[in-house]
Chain A
Amino acid sequence: MTHNTMIDEWYPVGLFSKLDAAGRETALMGEPIDVARDAEGSAKVTGRNGRPLPVCVRYGHVWSSLGTPLKALFAIPEADQAGRRFVDVGVVRVRCSPLRAVENFLDIAHFPFVHTDILGAEPHTEVQNYKVEIREDEVWATQVKFYQPQAAKSASGGITTEYMYRVPAPTCAVLYKTCPPRPSEWDVITLFVQPLAEDLCDVWPWMALFDDETSMTDLIHFQQTIFLQDRSILENQIPRLLPLDPGMEIPTRADLTSVAYRRWLKRHNYTYGAQLVAQ
């Protein structure tokens, strides 16, 4: 199975703030790579046999590719907005498909069971209909609503949170959610996933928030809590690879975003971490 189309995408490979001259050894889709800072302080990424790889630094992270990205990394305009706090949450490794990691991030029906008393709670389990569409070749889910006991560090009690989800790249997802201190703005929470192998990934969450009260450490810990609660789910899904053909797994109306994501992956031949024939 060729995964050519995913070869030419951008992937996160490290935190820019943690980069040093000695560098860090990591990998992209099975190929060992090295991520370091050069003498001028810029990020430098090299692949097998020292071949230089494309680099960009954005959203607090270093990005690279094994191939030739045809366009610049996707834009998140909120990242340039004054007054926002930018949070590098830190990497977590998960033994799962990078595509499963993204799909879990897009899901809300699990909130009452996995993020109990934080993002959801019984009996508020119903998922109301929401809207899914493709905009400029990205998957978007809008008008998503869910009742949450403690939606964010900046929320002072239970609220019905509104969400939008966006998939701008095969292993990246962006969540826009109700911002309690500034109701006309969205808080932005992202999941940037680095595919190490088809069943192993490094997950780099990042955030751009309006919150002047909460300490940076508390913001980091809140997001790490949420992700760690998902990790033991991600490591126990069978099959490991994300099925892109119907048959193995049964979606409902609550899963519209995930259904759109799987179709979009298949359409683009983004199959690294996926399986195609129902087994």
Chain B
Amino acid sequence: MLSDMTGSWTPVALSADLPAGTVMPARTPAGSIALWRSDSGRTAASADRCPHRGMRLSHGFVRGEALSCIYHGWSYARAGNCLRIPAHPGLTPPEAIRVATQQVEESDGLIWVAVGEPAAQPPRLEGLVPLRSLMAHASVAALETAAGAKADPEGIVWKVQASQTIRLLLAPQEDDHTLIHVLLSDNSSPAQRIAASRAAETLRRAAEALQTKRIAP
């Protein structure tokens, strides 16, 4: 997470994991969101709860520039206002029916969500590309120990072996879980990418074993 005086940015997903016309659940320090991309490619972060009967919007579907709830089909624009209530086709939904939204930025293949109003843009990845995201049942501290390196605001720089250095961008979650976005050099070969994915799995295993030991008496 990158913070300044007025807000911060959380990396929630890889761009490649959110194709046009899809929605996925994500967590931010401000709460759960339905992260979605319209058919035209624009991203949005809506609170993951439809105000009708409380259904998670991340279970919904995207059509055009709107996210619809799977329960009764209520549709919301990227700005959060309700566009359509299928049970009442002639009705223009009142302004009061809306979902809260959070600011989303996308750059270098990563999607960031703002908490508060950060003054700066999210950081750029110089020469790095995202590989994959994975969720670890381990705290940042356990990951640091497993990687043998401390995390700075830009994540953990992890030297896997002589040939490869991987950056792990971290987004702490609840319950000592950490969402890890694995980044590597943009000139990595396919073999190096597969090796990096496997290395990340190994790191997660090690960190989770450490986490369990710390919790167990």
- A associates with B: yes
Interface locus among B10-18, B51-59, B172-180, B208-216: B51-59
Question: In residues 38-71 of chain B, which contact A (Cβ within 8 Å)?
Answer: 48-49, 51-56, 59, 70-71
Question: In residues 90-111 of chain B, which contact A (Cβ within 8 Å)?
Answer: 91, 96-97
Question: In residues 114-166 of chain A, which contact B (Cβ within 8 Å)?
Answer: 114, 122, 125-127
B86, CB-defined interface residue at 8 Å: yes
A239, CB-defined interface residue at 8 Å: yes
A87, CB-defined interface residue at 8 Å: no
CB–CB B73/A250 < 8 A: no
B88, CB-defined interface residue at 8 Å: yes
CB–CB A248/B89 < 8 A: no
Chain B positions near chain A (C-beta within 8 angstroms): 48-49, 51-56, 59, 70-73, 85-89, 91, 96-97
CB–CB B88/A252 < 8 A: yes
From B53, B71, B89, B97, contact of A125 by CB (8 A): B89
Category for how many chain A residues contact B? 20 to 34
A226, CB-defined interface residue at 8 Å: no
CA distance A253 to B97 in the complex (A): 14
Chain B residues, CB < 8 A from A109: 72, 86-87
CB–CB B89/A236 < 8 A: no
- Indicate whether A113 sits within 8 Å of B89 (C-beta atoms), given known contacts A233-B55, A238-B49: no
Look across to chain B and name the residue whose beta carbon is closest to the beta carbon of A232: B59
Chain B residues, CB < 8 A from A112: 73, 86
CB–CB A253/B54 < 8 A: no
CA distance A251 to B59 in the complex (A): 20
CA distance A248 to B47 in the complex (A): 14
CA distance A248 to B51 in the complex (A): 7
- For the A-B complex with A233-B70, A238-B55 known, give 13 more contacts whose Cβ atoms are closer than 8 Å: A103-B53, A113-B73, A126-B86, A237-B53, A237-B56, A239-B54, A248-B54, A249-B52, A249-B53, A250-B96, A252-B52, A252-B88, A254-B72
Look across to chain B and name the residue whose beta carbon is closest to the beta carbon of A234: B55
CA distance A103 to B52 in the complex (A): 13
CB–CB A114/B88 < 8 A: no
Chain A positions near chain B (C-beta within 8 angstroms): 103, 109-110, 112-114, 122, 125-127, 232-233, 236-239, 243, 248-254
CA distance A238 to B33 in the complex (A): 13
- Indicate whether A127 sits within 8 Å of B87 (C-beta atoms), given known contacts A113-B70, A113-B71, A114-B70: yes
List the 8 closest pairs (A to B, CB-CB), nearest first. A125-B86, A254-B87, A109-B87, A127-B87, A237-B54, A236-B56, A238-B54, A109-B72
Chain A residues, CB < 8 A from B53: 103, 237, 249
Chain B residues, CB < 8 A from A250: 51-52, 96-97
Look across to chain B and name the residue whose beta carbon is closest to the beta carbon of A233: B71
16 CB contacts below 8 A, A to B, read A109-B87, A113-B70, A113-B86, A127-B88, A232-B59, A233-B70, A233-B71, A236-B56, A237-B55, A237-B56, A238-B55, A248-B51, A249-B53, A249-B54, A251-B52, A252-B85
CA distance A110 to B89 in the complex (A): 14
Look across to chain A and name the residue whose beta carbon is closest to the beta carbon of B49: A238
Chain B residues, CB < 8 A from A251: 52
